[in-house]
Amino acid sequence: MSLLDIAGLSASLGRKTVLDRVSLAIGAGECVGLIGPNGAGKSTLLRAVLGLVPHDGTISLTGQAPASLAPDEMARRIAYLPQEREIAWPVSVERIVGLGRMPHGTGAREPDDADRRIILEAMRAMDVAGLAGRRATELSGGETARVLIARALAQRAPLLLADEPTAGLDPAHQIACMRVFSDLAKDGASVLVCLHDLGLAARWCTRLVLMAEGRIIADGPPAHVLTPDRLAEVYGIRAFIGAAEGGMVLQPLDVLVGRDAV
């Protein structure tokens, strides 16, 4: 049984169909990159799984419908990192990361030793332990992004949905973030991560799902999904595709215009 099973998922925002009968199954141990041009429906797909947008079709989490789960139980199963990175109040970084423990009972009580250990581990993983006492509203964009990733990690859910977590991060922290996700998958969790950086997607994901105009165009290992034809068709770009250190290397080169475009 898959950890996440989506069948015939459709969603509309206003009159526009954003998701068109999407079906997707994700098993334990997979780090799946969700890629596609702007407006392809990637974020809406993540939000639909969480029940944040009205939709048709069925979603099941290890065989159970999300609607049948209590909100807390749902939050223990799925951690979600939204694209929105606005922190409303000058709360300490440690408290922000600690919000990830809320589905596990903090909020009604103070974090216990186990919670604190998990919070510290999450902060270390994203290299923000040194910022623990800082006000979260006084950080740089990249630091804020890392704090919020740490918050999602602290939730320790078997399924992580992350919406463009690497945007705004420097190369070292982009790699650190993808390595953490990849390690989570190796430890048996599942990760579904929206990415615009095809190089990161090609290198760190075990499987890529390519979306365009609300549909899944391709689904498989990076080398099967990221072919020159598909890059031209879906993104309208040409790219250098090679291999290094046992993985795929992809660098977009230029936009295809006029008769070059397929």
Q: Which is nearer to other proteins, 93 or 225 (CB)?
A: 93
SS3 assignment, position 121: helix
User: Residues 58 to 77: which contact other proteins by CB under 8 A?
Assistant: 70-76
**Can you read off the two tokens belonging to residue 169?**
């991060």
Select the residue interacting with other proteins from 29, 37, 57, 82 (CB under 8 A).
Answer: 82
- 156 near other proteins (CB under 8 A): no
What does DSSP assign to residue 111? -
Let me know how long the chain is. 262
Contacting residue, 89, 229, 242, 246, with other proteins by CB under 8 A: 89
Q: Report if residue 103 touches other proteins, rule: CB under 8 A.
A: yes
Question: Does 229 sit near other proteins (CB under 8 A)?
Answer: no
Distance CA 237, CA 239 (A): 7
Residue 9 exposed, middle or buried by CB count within 10 Å (0-12, 13-18, 19+): buried
**Lookup result for tokens 């799925």:** 78
DSSP H helical ranges for 99-249 = 113-125, 141-154, 171-186, 198-204, 222-225, 228-230
Residue in this structure with the two tokens 């334990």, named with its chain if needed = 28
- Residue from 3, 18, 78, 176 binding other proteins (CB under 8 A): 78
When asked if residue 22 is in the footprint of other proteins (CB under 8 A), the reply is no
Contact 226, 198 (CB under 8 A): yes
82-99 burial: b if 16+ Cβ within 10 Å, else e? beeeebeeeeebbbbbbb
Q: Is residue 3 within 8 Å of 26, Cβ to Cβ?
A: yes
Contact string (CB under 8 A) for other proteins, positions 37-56, x = contact = ----------x--xxx----
Nearest approach in angstroms of CB 227 to other proteins is 34
Tokens of 255: 């936009």
CB of 156 to other proteins, least distance (A): 13
Q: What would the x/- binding string for other proteins be over residues 130 to 149, using CB under 8 A?
A: ---x-x-xx---------x-
In the complex, minimum distance from the CB of residue 74 to other proteins, in angstroms, rounded to a whole number = 6
Confirm or reject binding of residue 108 to other proteins (CB under 8 A): yes
Q: Which residue, 58 or 137, is less far from other proteins as judged by CB?
A: 137
Q: Which spans of this chain sit near other proteins (rule: CB under 8 A)?
A: 47, 50-52, 70-76, 78-82, 84, 86-92, 94-96, 98-100, 102-103, 107-108, 110-111, 116, 133, 135, 137-138, 148, 151, 155
